[in-house]
Amino acid sequence: MFEALSGKLNGVFDRLRRRGALSEADVSEALREVRIALLEADVALPVVKDIVNKVRERSVGQEVIRSVSPAQQVIKIVNDCLVEALGGGAPGTDGVEHVPGLSLNAAPPVAILMIGLQGSGKTTTSGKIALRLRTRDRKKVLLASLDVQRPAAQLQLETLAKQAGVTSLPIVKGQSPLEIAARAMQVARGELYDVVILDTAGRLSIDEELMAEVAAVKAATKPHESLLVVDAMTGQDAVNTARSFNERVGVTGIVMTRVDGDARGGAALSMRAVTGAPIKLLGAGEKLDALEDFHPDRIAGRILGMGDIVSLVERAAETIDKAEAEKLAAKMQKGQFDLEDYAAQLKQINKMGSLSGILGMLPGIGKLKSQLEGANLDNSILKRQAAIIGSMTPKERRSPEILKASRKRRIALGSGTTVQEVNRLLKQFDDMSVMMKRMNKLGQKGLMRGGLG
């Protein structure tokens, strides 16, 4: 998500950084480019205007132009404004502060109502949430499909429940959605379930019948969370769908799916301002473990190419072991990350799923990623890079700066690659180190704890 926007903004900021001292005209020019980048990313116009105006006001107010590192200041202000647009920082229109992820803080059985159009990823997301609640939060979860429209829907949920290792409500033919919902709640109370996930029927488009059905189920079950699932790839349509649902039935949060295929990200940036409802979760793949909490500050970091070390490390902790992930995070923060660590990491990345999703979280790697995109980004690149590092001596891995032409030729030969590929790896590692150092400077001012300054 956000690759295109991220690339454009980084171009703008690279030019600003090269300038050193900034004039008011420089800032205006940069803001004009930021505005175009946001519009091209399909961010809603009022949201674009709001972000650009805020950045302008704050840049002037804080006398950015006369400060020692003006470009850095402008980037920080843009970062803050993105965090706000994404729902972080200040409370939303409803006066409620954004809390990432689900809220389960209620007496069990806690009901979660899943709402959305057909094909939005509602059923898959129900399975993902069930898996996460069972494995991460150790909850006893019951899944129930209220979809009596599509004959296959209830069977699909049954299959997903098996994959997630949770129970699905036995199918009783001929029951209405309300009857199924009542039976689910009864079973959940009787058999002491912690959470009941109710997957409602979708439609191809919003119609009154769908709204009425969802509203009736909501009134009967009084869910703790009413999650609206929308497809990020539908852009502003997703935002409009969310607005209609929120106005008609009221939702507690939005789940955006298919962010793995959405390069623009405009819907995510517009959602909070247009609908008032917070994004709580992201679906980033077809597999059941491809679910992320939505942290506005981390997402803003990803957009600005500062990477999302926190999410990366969390993902690592889920797939790898915790001690190793913590060691890695500490090394990254101290700037002691060397090629040895990088090689170990390459192996783990294979385990961690979608390569392009992971790359997006690494600082300074956005540019490389867009270069690779055409070249069929797959895991063979990881293997080649691992081979290159494998052909280095331990000393070379710790101090890559000693690598001159003859050593590079030897390494390329040894790994069955080319000097060009060796150079590319080293450049990438360099970019990463620079970005990490930059982040650490910011980190001391509070970036790593969420929100700059």
Which residues belong to the annotated binding site for GTP?
116-123, 199-203, 257-260
Cα angle 135, 138, 139; round to 5 = 110
Q: Which stretch binds ligand GDP (CB under 6 A): 53-61, 87-95, 254-262, 408-416?
A: 254-262
Reading the block at residue 352, the tokens are: 């961690």
- CA separation for the pair 404, 394 (Å, rounded): 16
Show the site string, 166-205: x = touches ligand GDP by CB under 6 A, - = not: ------------------------------------x---
Q: Which stretch binds ligand GDP (CB under 6 A): 70-78, 112-120, 184-192, 300-308?
A: 112-120
Query: 399-408: which pairs have CB atoms within 8 A and are 24 or more residues apart?
Result: 400/338, 400/339, 400/426, 400/429
Our CB check for ligand GDP shows the closer of 293 and 338 to be: 293
Q: Among residues 250, 246, 244, 144, which one has the least CA distance to residue 200?
A: 144
Our CB check for ligand GDP shows the closer of 37 and 227 to be: 227
Cα angle 395, 398, 400; round to 5 = 90
Using CB under 6 A, pick the residue from 91, 250, 261, 414 that binds ligand GDP.
261
- CA separation for the pair 81, 75 (Å, rounded): 10
The strand order across the sheet containing 141-145 reads 167-168, 141-145, 195-199, 110-116, 225-231, 253-257, 279-283, 291-293
Subset of residues 122 to 161 that bind ligand GDP, contact rule: CB under 6 A: 122-124
170 contacts: CB under 8 Å, gap ≥ 6: none
Q: Which helix (H) or strand (E) holds 340?
A: helix 339-351
Our CB check for ligand GDP shows the closer of 92 and 266 to be: 266
In angstroms, what is the minimal distance from the CB of 124 to ligand GDP? 3
List, in sequence order, every residue forming a beta bridge with 115; answer none if it has no partner: 228
In angstroms, what is the minimal distance from the CB of 353 to ligand GDP? 11
- Give the type of residue at 353: G
Our CB check for ligand GDP shows the closer of 126 and 385 to be: 126
Our CB check for ligand GDP shows the closer of 271 and 284 to be: 284
Our CB check for ligand GDP shows the closer of 119 and 250 to be: 119
Q: Among residues 360, 443, 358, which one has the least CA distance to residue 7?
A: 360
List, in sequence order, every residue forming a beta bridge with 292; answer none if it has no partner: 282
- CA separation for the pair 365, 434 (Å, rounded): 11
Subset of residues 271 to 330 that bind ligand GDP, contact rule: CB under 6 A: 283-286, 290
Contact status: 120 vs ligand GDP (CB under 6 A): yes
In angstroms, what is the minimal distance from the CB of 303 to ligand GDP? 19
Reading the block at residue 422, the tokens are: 């060796």
Subset of residues 30 to 89 that bind ligand GDP, contact rule: CB under 6 A: none
In angstroms, what is the minimal distance from the CB of 282 to ligand GDP? 8
In angstroms, what is the minimal distance from the CB of 231 to ligand GDP? 8
Contact 264, 4 (CB under 8 A): yes
What DSSP letter does each residue of 242-253 carry, written as one string?
HHHHHHHT--SE
In angstroms, what is the minimal distance from the CB of 129 to ligand GDP? 12
Bind-site residues: 116-123, 199-203, 257-260
In angstroms, what is the minimal distance from the CB of 44 to ligand GDP? 22
In angstroms, what is the minimal distance from the CB of 267 to ligand GDP? 13
In angstroms, what is the minimal distance from the CB of 6 to ligand GDP? 19
Q: Which stretch binds ligand GDP (CB under 6 A): 111-119, 341-349, 390-398, 427-435?
A: 111-119
Report the Cα 446 to chain-centroid distance in Å. Answer: 21
Let me know if 68 is exposed, middle or buried by CB neighbors in 10 A (0-12, 13-18, 19+). exposed
Using CB under 6 A, pick the residue from 80, 84, 225, 260 that binds ligand GDP.
260
Q: Which residue is nearest to ligand GDP (CB)?
A: 283
Reading the block at residue 444, the tokens are: 């001391």
What residues make contact with ligand GDP under the rule CB under 6 A? 116, 118-124, 202, 257-258, 260-261, 283-286, 290
